[in-house]
A = this chain, B = another copy of it.
């Protein structure tokens, strides 16, 4: 049994919830992914494996995985919420290109120090840190320059 399964099962147990077939499968597929994903994309993947899991159950399972600390809401794009692993993945920032949609990720070790010291002075319990920068990536900047 993999780490994330142990964590999820323990979480469910503690909440008096059941580690069902559907939840097992959803978790499994989520942890095979290594990109940002939205619910529709996830549902399609799951549906390829089993027709027995409904969209509603996928939607219902996501907040459970979030609460369990396994995934988090990431960049929202094309009007859909997107998610990504946090368990086993270093915290990072997102740099979104408004022009081509590219998403770059960078480490936020240094940032976290600032955030944590601020949290201390405010006595704020941090659950989730989200740094998103929007603008134009180097490629699109170059293209823009060339075409002048």
Contact of A128 among B114, B127, B134, B137 (CB under 8 A): B134
Of the 9-residue stretches A7-15, A41-49, A115-123, which lies at the interface with chain B? Answer: A115-123
Residues of B within 8 A of A141 (CB): 123, 125
Report the copy number of this chain in the oligomer: 2
A124 to B111, CA, bound (A): 18
Q: Are A134 and B138 in contact (CB under 8 A)?
A: no
A132 to B129, CA, bound (A): 6
- B-contact 0/1 string along A84-112, CB 8 Å cutoff: 00000000010100100000101000110
Residues of B within 8 A of A76 (CB): 76
Residues of B within 8 A of A131 (CB): 115, 129-131
